[in-house]
């Protein structure tokens, strides 16, 4: 199982919007809308930000949104804030008997 492909880094200024892509294959991202996204600050455990492709857990800002087109899932953060600076990871799920797979991670810098 190969890791999903994410850009190594993205950046944006406060108030702007950025999008992080997550590219897989027709066997994982393309087959199911079961991509989740995680935010990780240095030295902390990851935090779930988006699940089932586009749903937000309770307590997560509506500035975070998820979508999918073909074999690529995307995380969009609008109205960038300083505290959004973190690493972001996507993960694809294809059933309880198949391996989950993470993307390589994207470092978001808020300029």
Q: Which residues of this protein are in contact with another protein, per CB under 8 A?
A: 1, 3, 34, 36, 38, 40, 45-48, 51-52, 57, 87, 89, 91-94, 96-105
| Spatial separation of the C-alpha atoms in residues 67 and 64, rounded to whole Å | 11
CB of 70 to another protein, least distance (A): 20
Cβ(8)–Cβ(88) under 8 Å?
Answer: no
What are φ and ψ of residue 53, in 5° steps? 80, -45
Judged by CB, which is closer to another protein: 47, or 63? 47
What minimum distance in Å lies between the beta carbon of 12 and another protein? 21
Q: How far is the CB of 27 from another protein (least distance, A)?
A: 14
Q: Which is nearer to another protein, 15 or 99 (CB)?
A: 99
Nearest Cα residue to 36 out of 93, 86, 108: 93
Cβ proximity to another protein, 34 vs 108, nearer residue: 34
CB of 13 to another protein, least distance (A): 26
Q: Between the CA of residue 8 and those of 29, 31, 55, 104, what are the distances in Å? A: 19, 24, 24, 8
């Amino acid at each position: 199982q190969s890791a999903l492909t994410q850009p190594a880094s993205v950046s944006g200024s406060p108030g702007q919007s950025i999008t992080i892509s997550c590219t897989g294959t027709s066997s994982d991202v393309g087959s199911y809308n079961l991509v989740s996204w995680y935010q990780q600050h240095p030295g902390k455990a990851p935090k779930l930000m988006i699940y089932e492709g586009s749903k937000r857990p309770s307590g997560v800002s509506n500035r975070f949104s998820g979508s999918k087109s073909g074999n690529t899932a995307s995380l969009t953060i609008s109205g960038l804030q300083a505290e959004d600076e973190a690493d972001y990871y996507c993960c694809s799920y294809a059933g309880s008997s198949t391996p989950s797979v993470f993307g390589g991670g994207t470092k978001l810098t808020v300029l």
